[in-house]
Amino acid sequence: MTQIASLLFAASTAFSTSLSASLGGEFDNEILWTLLSIDGEAFDERATLYFPAPAQIAGATPCNSYFGVQTTPAPGFNASGVGVTQRLCPAFGKEAEFLTALRSMTISEFRGNTLILRDESGREMIFVGVPMKRN
């Protein structure tokens, strides 16, 4: 394996290990997950998820910010105690769709920089992860 290939493999492995730990009690607060789709349909508004501290979740909906707890170890997922700020905007319906789906998810799966959340009925949310920019 070339030196570049070795470095890329090591970085990919470290990224995946760090991501999988974020749901198991440890966390990686440097990754911002951006929603791509819900149930196979592209999500055309911005919605994010991150893990600011162990057992905590937070992010942005199309209109507001949210926060909550996630105490189920991977590969489980459980967004509970979710609180949301109270700004109204034209995308409120998309916000409700996002929050309803997030609250129903019970299974997590990491594939590289992709996070897939599912529930037992087959519903699915797909996120892509990127390192967060810090000022």
- Does residue 79 register a pLDDT over 50? yes
- Does residue 45 register a pLDDT over 50? yes
What's the full length of the chain, in residues?
135
Q: Which residues contact 121 (CB under 8 A, 6 or more apart)?
A: none
Question: Residue 112: which pLDDT band, with cuts at 50, 70 and 90?
Answer: confident
- Does residue 6 register a pLDDT over 50? no
Domains of the chain: 3-131 (2.40.128.270)
Report d(CA 65, CA 87) in Å as an integer: 9
Mean pLDDT of 17-35: 63
Q: In the prediction, which pLDDT does 19 show?
A: 44
23, 92, 32: which is closest to 55 by C-alpha?
Answer: 23
Mean pLDDT of 101-108: 95
